[in-house]
Amino acid sequence: MSPCVQKIIVLTGSDSPRIQAGWVDLRRRLLDVPNLEIVGVFSASDAIPAHLQADLVVVLGGDGSILRGSRQLGLRNTPLLGVNLGKLGFLADLSPDEFMTGLPLLQRGDYSIASHLMFQCRCRAVDGSEQTFTGLNELLITSGGTLRMLDISLRIDSEYVTTFSCDGLLISTPVGSTAHNLSAGGPILRQDLDVFAITPICPHTLSVRPLVDAASRTYHVSVNNAPDGAIAVIDGQITVPMQGRDQITMSRSDQTLLLARLPDHSYYSTLHRKLGWQGQLEYRR
């Protein structure tokens, strides 16, 4: 059994009218639930006070809201549960009605908590300055609007692996494997695996394939011929300009994402339902 949910924090994700209207309706319904206290409501730009204690963080919006929320929580070990007010909602996969139906189970502690890998990305510029970011989905190296092919060098730990001639490179977590990585032809990884997927985007060779390697290792990336406009992007939300000889180091973070899951949640049924994933065509009978 997991901790009984009595106190919740709500992250509204964004100030979009759709999210705010959804929150007004959900708040009205939550206020009628006995033995449940909303201890705080925060937008994406708000800092959550360190002293504020809750059993669950409810994130409103889509998967982008989950990405922001995972960074917003920092090292706080409070599980998240996403209520989908966005579009696809692969991580935030409960509708408001499904959330309200499952709320008694959460209050009884009849749910599970899954821990998911996050990464730390250290960007060191050629002038010696450094920036460090935490991500959940992926690191993307791309030429941006210049549409130039890049020569991206990859080392894992101290070993040189290869140089990819490609439009971009993705290093994805298992959670991120069903996002940009999937669209680029990378592998689908079960979310509880401790690995990273390395997927080149439009590589100029017939032989290169995506790689999967351990999350315990350290990944070093540089762009030998970085054009003006080359960038590193973390989770599609944080952008860092890149120049030649800039170094990016990616490794697992001490921070993890804790996701609350209601009983009977199935990763594979979510693949079927959200992404239309299946092993064969549905032939007309």
Which residues have a catalytic role annotated? 63
3-class SS letters over 218-258: CEEEEECCCCCCCEEEECCCEEEECCCCCEEEEEEEEEEEE
The answer to whether 250 touches 100, Cβ cutoff 8 Å, is no
Distances (CA, A) of 80 to 107, 132, 174, 196, 217: 14, 24, 17, 22, 27
Beta bridge partner(s), residue 94 = 83
**What is the spatial distance between Cα 179 and Cα 188, in angstroms, rounded to a whole number?**
9
Helix extents (H) in the chain: 17-30, 63-73, 96-108, 180-183, 267-275
Overall residue count recorded for the chain in this entry: 285
* Max CA pair span of the chain: 65
Which amino acid type is present at position 40?
G
Beta bridge partner(s), residue 219 = 156, 250
Q: Closest Cα to residue 93, out of 191, 20, 1?
A: 191
Q: Is 192 helix (H, G, I), strand (E, B) or coil?
A: coil
